[in-house]
Amino acid sequence: GDFVFVKGKGILWNVKMPYPKAVLISSAGIKVLNADDEETTSSNGSFGGYERVLGQILEKVLNGSVDVIDSMDGFYTEILLKSESIWKKKMVPKDETIKQFIPAIIIEGGDFITRVEIQKAKGEWDELLFIEHQSCGSLQHCVILADSERKAFE
């Protein structure tokens, strides 16, 4: 799928496979919308707070605040790779409850973040690849958003 990030609102993940849906991740929680833009699942702290933490991390990452990652409260940060042009960091939650849902997050890039791997319980993971970046100043004036995407952020 693809992602739409709106500063201060969250990240909208337009999932294409295996089932079309939209997942809105924000500091308030996680909202899942079906193909008809109807809310099917909502989480506002019911999973030990991991959804809020995930929203905060992704917002900082997508804002380009790479240096902030090293000083984030609640995480141990380990440098896995560092050269002149590329880097890779691993973040491990200090909180054991959050660690049950997200044991680690791997972030890598160069001048820009190119990949985020969210490791989950039972060995599963989500991989976010950032290949094409577009941005807009505000939600109201963002012409790259479809009406359904704009509505999801409201």
CA dist 102 and 93 (Å) reads 8
CA dist 88 and 79 (Å) reads 6
Give whole-number Cα distances, 72 to 14, 18, 111, 139, in Å.
Answer: 28, 34, 20, 27
Q: Is 75:102 a contact under the CB 8 Å cutoff? A: no
**pLDDT tens figures, 134-150:** 666 667 767 667 777 77
Q: How confident is the model at residue 90 (pLDDT cuts 50, 70, 90)?
A: very high
pLDDT at position 45 over 60: no
> Count of CB atoms within 10 A of residue 50's CB?
22
Q: Would the CA dihedral through 46, 58, 114, 5 be positive or negative?
A: positive
